[in-house]
Chain A
Amino acid sequence: MSTTAINILLLVTAVALASGGQLSMKAGMLKVGEVTREELSDFKGLVIRVVKSHWVVIGVLMFAVSAVFWLLVLSRVKLSIAYPMIAAGYVVVVFFSWLLLGERVTRIGWLGLILIVAGVIVTAQGL
């Protein structure tokens, strides 16, 4: 495999894990419910409630594994090119937020997403 192919593979893995982690964390926090300032005063109780949601724990773990892949990417790719690539995760996250979590995405939301994806594709030319 060429260096570029390996770098793309590492980036895709990091982004996929980060996106899966985000969706999992959101599924968990939907069960926990809205965290308000009053709840921050009982911080311990709040932490127990959040950790008890398995989706949050799975999401955080995926996030952690994604960080390991991310460090591998950073050792090989310029930050100015690697970092904007993370935006590829928008497609995955917004699409599944709409599909699985039932979030409404407005037409303007999709339009913004298309612009972000175009930006990612343009930036990827530097890889």
Chain B
Amino acid sequence: MSKTVVNVLLLILCVTLAATGQIAMKAGMNEVGEIAGEDLAHPGDLAVRVLESVWVVVGVLLYLISAIFWLVVLSRVPLSVAYPMIAIAYPVVVAFSWLLFDESVQWIGWVGVVLIVAGVSVTAQGLKTGVVAKELTPDR
């Protein structure tokens, strides 16, 4: 497998883990309910309440595993390219928020997501440029 293929696979794994982690955390926090200023007065009780939700724990774990893969990605790809690539998770998370949690997504919300995805596609062009530039540099 070429380096680029491995990097893309690592990024896909990262995005999938991050997106499922967010969905699980939201499912858990929907169970916990809205946290207000008064709840922060008893941080111990609050922590117990949050951690008792299995979904929150699963979500945080998925988030942690995605962070480990993220470290591997960071060692191989410039941050200015890797970070925007993760934005593929936005439409995925918004679509699942609408499907699973019945969140009404306004048309302006989809416009925002389309702009973000367009931004990702444009920035991804930097990946090609970066790889070619690296291969063309003799001392690398």
A63 near B67 with CB under 8 A, answer yes
Size class of the contact patch on chain B: 35 or more
A126 near B106 with CB under 8 A, answer yes
Which of A72, A75, A118 is the one whose CB lies under 8 Å from B115? A118
Say what secondary structure dominates the interface of chain A. Answer: helix
A119 near B29 with CB under 8 A, answer no
Which residues between 23 and 49 of chain A lie within 8 Å of chain B, taking CB atoms? 23, 25-26, 29, 32-35, 37
Which residues between 96 and 113 of chain B lie within 8 Å of chain A, taking CB atoms? 97-98, 101, 103, 105-106, 108-109, 111-113
Residues of chain A lying within 8 A (CB to CB) of residue B78: 97, 103-104
**20 residue pairs A–B, Cβ–Cβ below 8 Å:** A72-B35, A74-B26, A76-B35, A79-B23, A79-B101, A80-B94, A84-B94, A93-B79, A94-B80, A97-B83, A98-B80, A105-B80, A108-B123, A108-B126, A108-B129, A112-B84, A112-B123, A115-B116, A119-B114, A123-B108
Which of B70, B109, B129 is the one whose CB lies under 8 Å from A126? B109
| B22 in contact (CB, < 8 A) | yes
A109 near B123 with CB under 8 A, answer yes
B126 near A109 with CB under 8 A, answer yes
Q: Show the binding face of A for B, using Cβ within 8 Å.
A: 6, 22-23, 25-26, 29, 32-35, 37, 50, 56, 60, 63, 67, 70-72, 74-76, 78-81, 83-84, 87, 89-90, 93-94, 97-98, 101, 103-106, 108-109, 111-126
B84 near A84 with CB under 8 A, answer no
**In the bound complex, what is the Cα–Cα distance between A14 and B119 (angstroms)?**
22
